[in-house]
Each structure stands twice: as structure tokens, then as C-alpha cells.
Amino acid sequence: MFGRVDDRVVAAMRTAIEEATDASSRTAGFILWRTEQILAADAEVAMPSRRTLYRLFDKLAHGRHITGSVRARQSLAARPEGPFSQALVAAPGELMQIDSTPLDVLVRFDDGTAGRVELTGMVDVATRTIAAAVLRPTAKAVDAGVLLRPRQGVHVSDVPRLLPLPGDQPPAGP
């Protein structure tokens, strides 16, 4: 991740950056100097060039405001870790996400009454494509189930063409 830079140099710079989190604003040059001070006792460590150290500092300090405002830096340091993680998806159709949202429009239904509608959509996470969508006057779990209804011989890429429309006949069974 850090090229040919010795792991001890990376660890020392991380330590120097952590020390600077609660201190007053520091320059990148100070962090480099502090890194060298931490490594001074270990004569075996080969220090990379100054330019490489600055590049390493840019990677390690990215988004942490080490050379910026103390208030922003302390606020970022006090922020808890997020509760969610990124799901790794390898193939299309492996992970689908379904969500519904009410639309802020007034619609006239077939029976002449007016009301609001809700849009339910299904997105394939791997390809980031919309696999299905349903616009209905009411939101029920059955609507989401229609999106996932198994159909014999149907591939995930065929789902958008096979969405049920009002008045459609159910698919014939085997």
C-alpha cells in the first residue's frame, strides 16, 4: 500500500499524526521531523527521500485535517466508527436492494378518486442498474414480493421487461 517504504517508518508517522490530533495545528514538515525523532533510536531504518515522506504523509493524513483547524481535527477524532460496512459483491444479481418512497404528487386513479402513490424500486448492487420498479397507490409487502417473484427460465437481466402491468395475467405454471 505504501510502496517500498519500511513499515517502521509508516508506524512512526502514524504515531506522529496521532500525537498531533489533540495538539495545536502542525505543519507537514513538523510531522516529518517528529517521525524522524521517533525513529532516531533505530539506526537500522532506512529513511526514504523527503518527497516520499511527504507523499506518505498525504496518504496517512488524508481527511484528518492534521495541518488544518484544531476544532475540525478534534471533531473528526471524536466521531465514532460507522455501524455499517461495505458489502463485497462479485456477480450481478448477488445482492439486490429494495426501497420504497412516497411521491409528492396527486394522482387520479381508475375509479376517479385522487391520492398519492409510492415508488418501489430494486437495484442490483454489482451493476448499479435498476432491476425493477413498481408505482402503486398503496405500499404493501406484496408489491415488493412481486419484484422478487420467481419465474421459470427468467434471468435477472430480463426482470425489467417482465414487470406486471395492470390487467396482466399471472404467468402460466408448469
Per-residue pLDDT of 20-62, as tens digits, reads 877 777 888 999 999 999 998 877 888 889 999 999 998 888 8
Considering the domain architecture, whether residues 61 and 100 belong to the same structural domain is answered as no
Q: How many CB atoms lie within 10 A of CB 123?
A: 17
Domain assignment present for 19:
yes
In a domain, 91, yes or no: no
Is there a domain that residue 117 lies in?
Answer: yes
In a domain, 173, yes or no: no
Same domain membership, residue 105 and residue 65: no
* Assigned domain for 16 exists: yes
pLDDT at 34: 92
What are the pLDDT digits (tens) for 102-150? 888 888 888 888 888 888 889 998 888 999 888 888 645 555 556 556 5
Q: Residue 1 pLDDT > 90, yes or no?
A: no
87: closest CA among 60, 120, 122, 124? 124
Residue where a domain stops, chosen among 49, 78, 107: 78
Whether pLDDT at 169 is above 50:
yes
Q: Residue 82 pLDDT > 60, yes or no?
A: yes
Whether residue 126 is contained in a domain is answered as: yes
Q: How many distinct structural domains can be found in the chain?
A: 2
pTM over 0.85: no
- Domain presence at residue 115: yes
31 plus 61 within the same structural domain: yes
Same domain flag for 63 and 110? no
Q: What is the pLDDT of residue 146?
A: 60
Q: What is the mean pLDDT of residues 61-75?
A: 79
For 15, the domain range is 7-78
In a domain, 85, yes or no: no
pLDDT at 166: 55
